[in-house]
Structure 1
Amino acid sequence: MSDQSAARPSTTPPSVVDKVAWVHVVDRRLLAARSAGKELFYVPGGKREPGESDVQTLAREIEEELSVAVDPATAVRVGTFEAPADGRSDGRVVRLTCYSAGYAGDLVPAAEIEEIAWLTAGDAERVSAANRLVLEHLHRAGLLD
């Protein structure tokens, strides 16, 4: 008796990596971060911990990654962007729920962040697929060069 279930296509939707990200634009350039050992930049942020709201996740992740304190009272949702996860062939999708917000402190790479950069819409090849959608959205809105 053979196992034919392996040949059937999966009906399970692809897994979604749910992230919250900080959209911070200065002089028509978007703040981006690059983790140690990685090639691509991304909009800073990360995955929520159990029980966290979007804004709580945003504040925690940005403080961990960039050493600044996001002001939760100023957080404004920019949009949600979904695209296939980079380097994955299993159908995994990244969902970025993005917020802009004021902050206090000096931007300094911390934790896994090796480098920060200020990107324009022309830097699409330097970011992941989901982050390209963010660049395109901001460019269409007239916020990025």
Structure 2
Amino acid sequence: MSAVIDKIAWLHLRDGEVLSTRSHGKDRYYFPGGKREPGETDAQTLLREIREELTVALDPASLEPAGTWEAPAHGHPAGVLVRMTCYYARHTGQLQPAAEIAEVVWLRYRHRAEVSAVDQLIFDWLRAQNLLAD
């Protein structure tokens, strides 16, 4: 049986681009979000992680599920999977890197090779939905 890393992430799109982040010491971009703490709901996890990583507040009433994807975890041993549940949401505040985040970027489909395996699946899905520009 595979180990599964349970992550919750924010999909924030603007003008055919999607918000992504790179943590200090990492070589790939990841959608902002993170792992749930014991007893947290998806919403609680997402609101906490985004506030910690990007210094903005998500509007809990605007949370809308986008989907769940699963792929091998980048930088982990074989057999470790990431299960990422993504949500759309409105936010208030100015996006800026905080905590472990070194860089905040806006990516297009052409940047697909620069993101983790699970994010690549989501890039494909966003492009198929005509939400992500080439």
**Same fold, judged at TM 0.5 (above):** yes
Q: What is the CA-CA distance between 1:51 and the residue it aligns to?
A: 1.0
How many residues align? The count is 133
Map of 1:115 onto structure 2 = 103
CA distance in 2 between counterparts of 1:118 and 1:58 reads 19
Q: What is the CA-CA distance between 1:88 and the residue it aligns to?
A: 2.6
Q: What is the CA-CA distance between 1:119 and the residue it aligns to?
A: 0.6
Q: What is the CA-CA distance between 1:18 and the residue it aligns to?
A: 0.2
Q: Spell out the pairing of 1:21-100 with structure 2 (5 A cutoff).
A: 21-100=9-88
Greater fraction strand: 2
CA distance in 1 between counterparts of 2:101 and 2:75 reads 19
User: CA offsets, 1:72-131, max 9 Å, x none?
Assistant: 100000000100011233300001000000010000100000001101111111100000
User: CA offsets, 1:20-64, max 9 Å, x none?
Assistant: 000000111000000001110000000001111101100000000
CA distance in 1 between counterparts of 2:35 and 2:75 reads 18
Structure 2 gaps, min length 5: none
Partner AA of 1:84 in structure 2: P
Partner AA of 2:131 in structure 1: L
CA distance in 2 between counterparts of 1:43 and 1:71 reads 18
> Quick check: 1:103 aligned with 2:91?
yes
CA distance in 2 between counterparts of 1:141 and 1:50 reads 34
Structure 1 gaps, min length 5: 1-12
Aligned residues: CA RMSD:
0.7
CA distance in 1 between counterparts of 2:56 and 2:117 reads 26
Greater Rg over alpha carbons, structure: 1
> Quick check: 1:133 aligned with 2:121?
yes
Structure 1 stretches of 4+ with a deviation exceeding 3 A read none
Q: Percent identity?
A: 51
TM-score, normalising length: structure 2? 0.97
